[in-house]
Amino acid sequence: MKVFIARNIPEKAIEHLKEKGLEVSINRTSKHLTREQLISQCRDKDFLILVGNAKLDSYFFEQCAHLKGIALTAVGFDHIDLDAATKAGIPVSNTAGSLRKTTADIAFLLMIAVSRKAFFQAKEVREKQKKSFDFMEDLGIEIENKTLGIYGLGDIGLEFAKMAKAAYGMKIIYHNRTINKEAENLVGAKYVSFDNLLTRSDVISAHVNLSPETKYKFNKDAFEKMKKSAIFINTARGKIHQEEDLIAALQQGEIWGAGLDVTDPEPISPENPLLEMPTVCILPHIGSATVEARTKMAVMAANNIICAKTGSKMPQVINK
């Protein structure tokens, strides 16, 4: 049986597929394939490992209905028409649980970097070469004992909450579709309404999937309700916040700062005013970009394909 891998992945996962008797072909270029190129590559294949956020829409599933399984090398699946996959009878898996720590690290890093204007300060040093100690200029704010509000308390949100509590004694509040008893026991997290999350948090961090319910959840109305000293963190998806509204909220002092690992679109335009703001840190979607996490994700994707090959259920299937 044959599998196509849409971009390069760690060799360990490729070897694993080969050992299990799969014939592997890979797009070894550094370029994402277009939908047409993907369809053409999948024509004589049984399985696909999708790398990156290429959209698999209903047309793709009509053309590739012969596939016996698709493994994503990501947790997020907002780029996949899951209903169309199900209709075509194709199981799709993700890498749930593979990037808990790495993404929580980035949320933590952004929180501290924003609170101390670290990226802006570093840029000043690099570009102006003259910046040195100043007693009153460009001061940051502290986060010790403040309140961290988590929007979407799954494994990543909980990991971030644990770090914030251990390092800074932060109080944790959260808003979720369901009550998270584990988090309540582990970090004393308290469930609150979304409005309460907005008004009470000093730092508010999004850890939800992108869905019609979460799209543009952080908009003008939400930013207006937040504290003027609040920091907004997004390591989930760029469309969770409304970018124009975020820019306006920062310009008008509705909130204090923002740390974004995700933007809309990606990459962010070099002209975007967010890039010039002292209390904003932008990263290029590196939440899972460590050797360890990417290896784990690729091996997990390979294991899902191997299971599908033997006719068993993919362990991380998302269209049940």
Q: Which residues belong to the active site?
A: 237, 266, 285
In the bound state with ligand DGY, the residue whose beta carbon lies nearer, of 50 and 173, is 50
**Contacts of ligand DGY in 269-298 (CB under 6 A):** 287-288
In the bound state with ligand DGY, the residue whose beta carbon lies nearer, of 53 and 63, is 53
DSSP character at residue 290: S
Judged by CB under 6 A, does residue 154 bind ligand DGY? no
What whole-number distance in Å separates Cα of residue 236 and Cα of residue 151?
A: 10
Any residues with CB less than 8 A from the CB of 55 and at least 6 apart, and which? Answer: 35, 79, 80
In the bound state with ligand DGY, the residue whose beta carbon lies nearer, of 259 and 287, is 287
What whole-number distance in Å separates Cα of residue 251 and Cα of residue 230?
A: 14
| 231, β-bridge pairs | 203, 257
| Closest CB to ligand DGY: residue number | 76
Decide if 1 contacts 25 (C-beta within 8 A): no
In the bound state with ligand DGY, the residue whose beta carbon lies nearer, of 209 and 272, is 209
Q: Scanning the structure block, which residue is given the tokens 């995700």?
A: 262
Any residues with CB less than 8 A from the CB of 217 and at least 6 apart, and which? Answer: 151, 194, 206, 208, 240, 241
Nearest distance from C-beta of residue 17 to ligand DGY, angstroms: 20
What whole-number distance in Å separates Cα of residue 247 and Cα of residue 241?
A: 10
In the bound state with ligand DGY, the residue whose beta carbon lies nearer, of 75 and 230, is 75
In the bound state with ligand DGY, the residue whose beta carbon lies nearer, of 227 and 285, is 285
Q: Which one of 68-76, 119-127, 157-165, 198-206 is the stretch in contact with ligand DGY (CB under 6 A)?
A: 68-76
Nearest distance from C-beta of residue 74 to ligand DGY, angstroms: 3
Judged by CB under 6 A, does residue 152 bind ligand DGY? no
Nearest distance from C-beta of residue 131 to ligand DGY, angstroms: 34
Nearest distance from C-beta of residue 99 to ligand DGY, angstroms: 6
Q: Is cis: bond before 267, omega within 30 of 0?
A: yes
Judged by CB under 6 A, does residue 75 bind ligand DGY? yes
Judged by CB under 6 A, does residue 50 bind ligand DGY? no
Judged by CB under 6 A, does residue 222 bind ligand DGY? no
Q: Which one of 69-77, 178-186, 273-281, 303-311 is the stretch in contact with ligand DGY (CB under 6 A)?
A: 69-77
Among 26, 27, 37, 76, binds ligand DGY (CB under 6 A): 76
**Contacts of ligand DGY in 92-131 (CB under 6 A):** 99
Angle of helix 11-19 versus helix 291-309 axis, rounded to 10 = 20
| 25, β-bridge pairs | 4
What whole-number distance in Å separates Cα of residue 250 and Cα of residue 248?
A: 5
**Strand pairing of 171-175 and 190-191?**
parallel
Nearest distance from C-beta of residue 279 to ligand DGY, angstroms: 24
Decide if 266 contacts 239 (C-beta within 8 A): no
What whole-number distance in Å separates Cα of residue 97 and Cα of residue 156?
A: 8
- What torsion do the CA atoms of 26, 30, 31, 36 make, to the nearest 10 degrees? 0
Nearest distance from C-beta of residue 76 to ligand DGY, angstroms: 3
Judged by CB under 6 A, does residue 74 bind ligand DGY? yes
Cα angle, residue 137 at apex, residues 135 and 141 outer, rounded to 5°: 90
Size of the site for ligand DGY (CB under 6 A): 6
Nearest distance from C-beta of residue 19 to ligand DGY, angstroms: 25
Residues at the interface with ligand DGY (CB under 6 A) = 74-76, 99, 287-288
